[in-house]
Amino acid sequence: MYDSRTRRRAAALALPLLLTALAACQSGGQDAKPTAATPSPTPTPVFSVRLDDQLTAASRATTAAGSAAFTWTLTYGSAKGTAVERVTGVQDYAKDTARAERVVEIPRGFPGDAARELGGEPVGSRKPRTFAVSGNQVSYRTADGDWLRYSSAASGDIVDLMDGALQRAGDAAPYGRTLAEVVSVADATRPPVKGADGSRTYQVDVPVTYATAALPQALDISQDSARQAPGPVRTTVVLDKDGRLVRATADYAPALKLLHDEHRLKGVTSLRADYALSGHGKTPVPPLPAGAKVQDAEKALTDLHKVRPGGCASLDTGLGDLGLVRVVPCGARADLRVFGQVTFKKSLQGDPDGVAVREGQDRCEAAYGSVPHAWIADGRPAGRFTTYGQGTTSSAYTGPDVDVEGVYTCFVEIP
């Protein structure tokens, strides 16, 4: 996470890498994913099954429709304005494909650390980011029109850094990390309200352990923490007369409380989700444009910690984090310039909390004062740098010593 400490000429950042096991996606080394059902010529029973099975049946009925257009919205409220992440797209359940555009709108004054956790979009930015999903492959269109293709079959030392893109491949629907994942496992306990058009509206209390399947990877909450939630996530689910999902909304206040306990989304006062579907069975997914240049992300991207000092990189990767970057010539396409790579291991006694972050920051500050001026001259804000990395601690059962290790990259941001 971003460290709030400030130092002379320093803006420090410590982002632990999210190492999420993708074993289920890599079984046999193939891009294997449960195949979506072929559209059924007969309606899938929904309202005639047991109440606690109706939402699971609704997910099957939605899949059986074959396709749908969708809008997925996450709204982050704060005292200084509301940030919105909105994804609009189409998905084909039978072919397990999707095409979507994602836009993140962050108002001026929105809490800075929280803004970075939403994907690092510039304040006021409304630039759409385009993704194409095919099974467990996710492609991202770069600003120059080329596509980066992420695969869950990438090598083990890099696939964990691709989570920001691979999370967009879902299980309950082709496009992932939405309330579709939550509805598919939710159990209704109260009878729905029937509308004049035959629709049904359910009020469901979903445990945080299941509800977080819709939140972005960067906001993952451990199962142990989720079990300590102050209450369930209040969710409203609307089905049409045929039992197909048309809307779901959720208030993530209990999950936000847990994130605050972990010093995440600081300054965010509300977190709500909205998922809407339309055009069931009438919404084709366009293929990638004919002749489109597609690059293997594993070959095209570089671990930020392996960028040589003096080198520049682009964050136009679709990942929303700094783990992997595109090494580019220093100039208009560059977002940052690396001026140092530091590693360390030290032993100490007492509480090691925060030691790695401070050590990484101190070493980057020392490097900042000694590198060639050209490496930092274009950095903005002037005179400031950022530190990215992670630290680990280990100790033996005997003795008070604690070993602290860290790997950090020092860079300046280029506007």
- Write out pLDDT tens, residues 354-406: 788 889 999 999 999 999 999 999 999 999 999 999 888 777 655 567 888 89
Task: Assign 15 a pLDDT band (cuts: 50, 70, 90).
Answer: very low
* DSSP calls for 196-208: TTS-EEEEEEE-H
Task: Please give the Cα distance from 108 to 106 (Å, whole number).
Answer: 7
- Summary mean pLDDT of the chain: 87
Alpha helical stretches, state H, 334-408: 355-368
Please state whether beta strands 81-92 and 67-78 pair in parallel, antiparallel, or not at all (unpaired): antiparallel
Distances (CA, A) of 369 to 8, 365, 381, 384: 11, 7, 16, 11
The contacts of residue 340 (CB under 8 Å, 6+ apart) are: 309, 363, 364, 367, 368, 371, 409, 410
Q: What is the DSSP letter of 142?
A: -
Chain length of the chain: 415
Task: Please give the Cα distance from 394 to 14 (Å, whole number).
Answer: 19
Q: Is 140 left (phi over 0), alpha (psi -120 to 50) or beta?
A: beta
Q: Which two tokens stand for residue 357?
A: 């972050």
Strand partners, 144: none
Residue 385: name the closest of 323, 342, 326, 329 by CA.
Answer: 342
Task: Assign 415 a pLDDT band (cuts: 50, 70, 90).
Answer: confident
pLDDT at 38 over 60: no
pLDDT at 156 over 90: no
DSSP E strand boundaries for 299-400: 302-303, 312-314, 324-328, 336-349, 386-395
Q: What is the DSSP letter of 305?
A: G
Q: What is the pLDDT of residue 398?
A: 56
Alpha helical stretches, state H, 125-166: 156-159, 163-166
- Write out pLDDT tens, residues 276-335: 999 999 999 999 988 899 999 999 999 999 999 999 999 999 998 888 999 999 988 999
DSSP E strand boundaries for 13-167: 67-78, 81-92, 97-105, 129-134, 137-141, 147-151
